[in-house]
Chain A
Amino acid sequence: MTTPGGEAPVTSDFVRSYVITGGRTLPDADDLALHTLVTLAPERKPPLGAGPEVMAIWNLCAGGYLSVAEVAGHVGLPVGVARLLLTDLSEQGHLLRRAEPPRAQNVDRATLEKVLNGLQSLIG
């Protein structure tokens, strides 16, 4: 661990995630699913005393819709922690969210082929 003249490097995350959440209970995943898209509501100012993580999320979301999973990935936080911060912002009215796009229905092959044929005849 300790070598004379040099200290061992410490690489663990400096600010632990339970401090970022303030020890609060994490919100349910149903509320903001991984694929839920969020973006900043227009004409909003960051909340007073927002921590660096909230500011990072703020700046990320200012660019347009991003999924919860992406936000978590970019700010380097566990998804649950990012979800809590997003929930906070959302409750303060700073966020617009859009439910995950509905899964495409499985269309039977025959229909698809018909459409394709139709299109091909249209486009030539």
Chain B
Amino acid sequence: MTSLTQDPLLWILLVVLIAAVVAVMRARRTNMALRRTKKDLETGLGEARGDVGQLHAHVTALNTQHQRDLADVRADAEASTKAVLKSAMGTLQSLAEEQQVLLDDLLKKYGDTTDVLGDLMAVDHTGSQFGRRAKGISVLCGGWLGRREGLATVYDVARSAQGRIKDFNRVSVHSQVNVSLVGKAVEPVAVVLAELLDNATNYSAPGTPVEVNIQTVPSGVCFIVDDAGLGMDQETKDRAATLLSVDGPVDITGLGDPPRFGFAVCGMLAARYGFAVSVGSVSPYGGVRAVIRVPESLLAPDAPAPVADVRDTAVPEAAPQRLAPVPVVGPSHVVGTTTGGLPKRRRRSGPVTVVPALDNADGEGTSEPASEVTASRLGAFARGTQLGRTTKTTEGSDDQ
């Protein structure tokens, strides 16, 4: 035993053992401390993750709110811009209309002065284009076009539209249809057709024809515009289709610079008045074919038959009665009863002033045969004038 205790190896072993035990103890303590720290850290991490999640949600909410506010602000700005533009355009519209009415009078007043008339027509043409632009912008801003009283034939609607574009003489209108549009549809269809014609003339080579064909279809009437341009690429087609099918306010700031109002105006008016516009197809000339389909509800129920009368209904001034007195065949002496100086011209005084004086006195004062005798005796004076102005029919009635 003593020998064992004397053995240095034993002591060495003992020392090593103690050292090992101490080391294990320390390692264990450290391990436990580390585990604790790890646990703490894990908890911290979880909390931090939660926080991050919350923050994320918050940011998303804020972002959405921001987007919404921005859209609201945009809509507000758009609405107020539109309101301002609408009222400004309204003023321009009424000025343009006033100018056209003025020009109507001037054209009649200076109708016989060829040069002046030509110049006035040029002014009228620019005025019409100006009016169309003002109307287009006004419509996009929620304004109105102005209402025409009375019907207008589809042919006149097409010609009116033709007059509102720059290259109007490249357009030819073909109509075998004798149908009229109701008053409220007249201006909208004319404006839309003018926009389509403007497009057609702008996007086809100068000098190439643009045709408007008007055809009846079972559900109404179609205005078909064909040009000989290059057609539209897919992007333009898509853009047009989007604008034409719009059902609500149009974002006018999104129409480009310079703004292209045309299709937007068409879509807006078509939706508002209930007709259809499409531009997708290809024309027989290789260009674009645009079609306006006006439903039966916008057509006048009773289309007037003769073309000449139709013009009269379109222009309320030219009442049909003004045409009626032309056959002067009937009553022989009911002269001067018609309004508007109608062609009862055998009564009008000729250059020789003596003749009508006698004629009147005889016609009213004495019996018919007496005046006849006098008239025949004074015939020499009147020959140069009366014969020149007398038709076969009036000669007949004079003799009665």
Contact = CB atoms under 8 A, between A and B. Distances in A.
A binds B: yes
A12 interface: yes
Contacts of A69: 112
A14 B306 contact: no
B147 A15 contact: no
Contacts of B138: 2
Interface stretch (B26-34, B113-121, B220-228): B113-121
A47 interface: no
A6 B149 CA distance: 13
B121 A17 contact: yes
Contacts of B315: 13-14, 76
A69 B348 CA distance: 14
Contacts of A19: 159-160, 162-163, 168
B207 interface: no
Nearest to B353: A104
Interface in A17-39: 17-23, 25-29, 34, 37, 39
Nearest to A98: B388
A122 interface: yes
Nearest to A5: B144
Contacts of B322: 74
Given A19-B163, A23-B169, A65-B389, A123 B377 contact: yes
A50 B337 CA distance: 32
A66 B374 CA distance: 26
B310 A52 contact: yes
B21 to A, nearest CB: 100
A7 B125 CA distance: 24
A19 B124 CA distance: 11
A65 B326 CA distance: 10
Contacts of A8: 94, 97, 144, 146-147
Most B CB contacts (10 A, CB to CB) among A14, A28, A76, A104 go to A14
A59 interface: yes
B388 A37 contact: yes
Given A23-B168, A101-B350, A122-B377, A7 B145 contact: yes
A16 B124 contact: yes
A14 B110 CA distance: 19
Contacts of B308: 52, 55-56, 58-59
B326 A59 contact: yes
Given A23-B168, A26-B118, A56-B323, A119 B377 contact: yes
B125 to A, nearest CB: 5
Contact of B152 (A14, A77, A81, A104): A14
A56 to B, nearest CB: 5
> What class of interface size applies to chain A in its complex with B?
35 or more
Contacts of B148: 9-10, 14
Interface in B89-125: 90-91, 93-94, 97, 100-101, 103-104, 107-108, 110-114, 117-118, 121-122, 124-125
Given A14-B152, A15-B156, A104 B107 contact: no
A11 interface: yes
A49 B90 CA distance: 38
Contact of B94 (A1, A53, A100): A1
Nearest to B322: A74
Nearest to B94: A1
B388 A100 contact: yes
B263 interface: no
Contact of B114 (A17, A28, A50, A102): A28
Nearest to B117: A80
Interface in A37-63: 37, 39, 49-53, 55-56, 58-60, 62-63
Nearest to A49: B174
Contacts of A66: 326, 343, 345
> Lowest 4 A-B CB distances belong to which pairs?
A64-B391, A78-B111, A101-B388, A52-B311
24 contacts: A7-B145, A7-B147, A9-B149, A14-B314, A15-B156, A16-B121, A19-B162, A26-B114, A29-B112, A29-B114, A52-B156, A60-B326, A63-B326, A66-B326, A73-B340, A73-B341, A76-B315, A76-B318, A78-B107, A79-B111, A80-B114, A98-B388, A101-B385, A104-B385
Given A8-B146, A50-B307, A51-B307, 5 more contacts: A15-B314, A18-B163, A56-B308, A78-B117, A79-B117
